[in-house]
Structure 1
Amino acid sequence: MHGAGDVRFFDRFAPLYDLVMPPAERDALAAGLAQADGEIERVVDIGGGSGRATLALPVSDPLVFDRSAGMLGRASNRGLDCVQGDARSLPFADESLDAVTVVDAFHHMPNQRTVTDEVVRVLRPGGVFVIQEFDPGTVRGRGLELAEKLVGFGSAFSAPGELTRFLEQAGLDAEVVEGGFEYTVVGKKRESH
């Protein structure tokens, strides 16, 4: 799931993507998913692209969701279930998912508030939204932010505290589960009353 301008780049870049991207932080993803109340069965990896990070999820049957057909072709070749679409309008029923992940892609998403509202809608109470992102406050993060601007991406990076507050404002109980250049934040959907 990338911005409208970014998706064309990812379609073309798909064959090389896994060669240049670092592996996903499996332990941090597991720590985020562990914050959920109850078992995790239905997980959707939004912006899952080639499935690189989806394969690192400690769950049995995750679904890759992305706008880029090229990237989803790579994920499908890895044997992953895929759905092409826009995260601003998720094709899942209300409260039907246990967890949603976004790994290294949230900064590419246009209208992050709408995406987050959709995630909150599809998460069951006690379900979690786990985001791994790059901290623009680190030296490497500033370099990445500059590189993406030079490529022409419309990226919108957030520091860990900013993203935590953003998720809290969207109605989730949020916390940072791992800091650093690539950090992980989890937001848990509050129980319905």
Structure 2
Amino acid sequence: MGSNWLFERIAPFYDAAVRFLDPGPLRNYLELPTKGRLLDLGGGTGRVAFAFREMIDSTIVADAAWGMLRAARRRPKLLPVQALAERLPFADATFDRIVIVDALHHFIDARAAIQEAARVLQPGGRLVIEEPDIHRWPVKGIALLERLIGLRSRFLPGESIRELLEAVGLQAQEHRDPRSFRLWIVGYKVADESGKRIALRW
């Protein structure tokens, strides 16, 4: 059944109950503003995409829970799309930027979801994943609590997420903030068809 049953129930209260932290690091890692399309994958109510709506040409929110997407529909300049992260209804190389915030651990198959994200990412584009850092004890407690209430959450360490990105051909780097319990994995899809490494600004 996955996590959808919970998100359908809490959708009307989600934004009030779960605080969206400082979007500054995400904005920097995504290198916004820029031209093109942004996909907020597992984006729920669209609050992340909404924070960046003026920094890119168009913003799409994809989520499996229609209850969450109903909230996203009330936000201007967002296009909500119901979809599983593991089977995205988009053509190859559709998006210039993709962001996954606090959602990877809820996906049915993280490996398949990252493979799909890489498929729909433009060459030269960026994928940024923000997750709780499972190496930190408070996050371990959250992971245990989610298991106890029946969620099938699987929190991956940053190095494992980076390896998943590299396995689908993205150049990837891991970032941590010692002042918080968050980590960011930044993936870059090489634009040069020869596959040679390009100097990046992380």
> By the TM > 0.5 criterion, same fold?
yes
CA–CA distance in structure 1, aligned partners of residues 104 and 35 of structure 2: 22
Gaps in structure 1 of 5+ consecutive residues: none
Match of 2:186 in 1: 186
Report if the CA contact (8 A) 1:31-1:177 is conserved: no
Write out per-residue CA displacement over residues 60-85 of structure 1, whole angstroms, 9 at most, x where no aligned residue. 53111101110000111122211111
Report if the CA contact (8 A) 1:24-1:56 is conserved: no
Match of 2:200 in 1: none
Match of 1:70 in 2: 67
Instruction: Figure out how many residues of one structure are paired with residues of the other and give that number.
Output: 188
Tell me the TM-score normalised to structure 1 length: 0.90
Q: Which amino acid aligns with 1:33?
A: L
Tell me the TM-score normalised to structure 2 length: 0.86
| Counterpart among 112, 117, 120 of residue 119 in structure 1 | 117
Residue 50 (structure 1) aligned with residue 30 (structure 2): no
Match of 1:94 in 2: 92
Deviation at 1:24, TM superposition (A): 3.7
Write out per-residue CA displacement over residues 37-82 of structure 1, whole angstroms, 9 at most, x where no aligned residue. x944201101100112222234353111101110000111122211
Write out per-residue CA displacement over residues 85-144 of structure 1, whole angstroms, 9 at most, x where no aligned residue. 112111111112101111110100011111111111111111111111011111221111
SS of equivalent residue, structure 1 residue 23 = coil
* Higher CA-based Rg: 2
* Structure 1 outlier segments of 4+, above 4 Å: none
Residue 82 (structure 1) aligned with residue 77 (structure 2): no
Report if the CA contact (8 A) 1:28-1:177 is conserved: no
Is the alpha carbon distance of 1:140 and 1:40 closer, same or farther for their aligned partners in structure 2, counting shifts above 3 Å? Answer: farther
| Counterpart among 109, 121, 138 of residue 107 in structure 2 | 109
| Counterpart among 157, 160, 179 of residue 158 in structure 2 | 160
Report if the CA contact (8 A) 1:99-1:127 is conserved: yes
Match of 1:137 in 2: 135
Report if the CA contact (8 A) 2:165-2:187 is conserved: yes
Residue 14 (structure 1) aligned with residue 14 (structure 2): no
Report if the CA contact (8 A) 2:2-2:106 is conserved: no
Gaps in structure 2 of 5+ consecutive residues: 195-202
CA–CA distance in structure 2, aligned partners of residues 60 and 145 of structure 1: 36
Is the alpha carbon distance of 1:166 and 1:25 closer, same or farther for their aligned partners in structure 2, counting shifts above 3 Å? Answer: farther
Write out per-residue CA displacement over residues 165-184 of structure 1, whole angstroms, 9 at most, x where no aligned residue. 22112211111244341211
| Counterpart among 172, 175, 187 of residue 174 in structure 1 | 172
